[in-house]
Amino acid sequence: MADFVDAIAAKAFRIVAGMQYNRTLAELTEEGKNPEKLIFYEVALGDGKPWEWLRDRIYPAFVRYLKDKDISPEDPERVVVSVFHKERCFLLTGRAFLDVFKEMEGLNDSAFHFRVLQWLAV
């Protein structure tokens, strides 16, 4: 199994120093420069958090959050996931963040759909 932090890094559209995150967030959401009204979801991995923690706690919560915001939990447009790990912050689109899950678990779209339904049923 690939290292999930490497998978997150590979799918990130931008990697910033953690201390620069607030500045980056301000740039991305600046008045007039954010016509699509991006929604940010923040995840703090911390040191030593295993894949299972992300898989079993963060992803189900993320999918329920999307559903509560009336955003498709399988195709989250306008969503940016900020993943903090050590001194870095990885910025991923919502779709890319879900793609990490599918890649790590070896799921195709149909199997992922079933997983989403399970998470939403809780």
| 74-100 tens-digit pLDDT | 999 999 999 999 999 999 999 999 999
pLDDT surpasses 80 at 122: yes
Locate 117 and state its tokens.
């339904």
pLDDT surpasses 50 at 50: yes
Number of compact structural domains in the chain: 1
- Nearest alpha-carbon partner for 25 in 33, 99, 62: 33
- pTM for this entry: 0.92
- Going from the C-alpha of 83 to that of each of 51, 64, 102, the distances in angstroms are 13, 18, 17
Instruction: Give the 3-state secondary structure of 39-56.
Output: EEEEEECCCCCCHHHHHH
In the chain, the amino acid numbered 122 is V
pLDDT surpasses 70 at 2: no
Locate 97 and state its tokens.
């963040």
pLDDT surpasses 70 at 56: yes
Contact between 14 and 20 under an 8 Å Cβ cutoff? The reply is no
Domain range for 42: 4-121
Q: Tell me, what DSSP letter sits at residue 13?
A: S
Q: Please report, to the nearest 10 degrees, the dihedral formed by the alpha carbons of residues 71, 76, 79, 83 taken in order.
A: 120
Average pLDDT over residues 53-77: 96
pLDDT surpasses 60 at 1: no
Distance CA 3, CA 7 (A): 6
pLDDT in tens, 3-46: 999 999 999 999 999 999 999 999 888 876 666 789 999 999 97
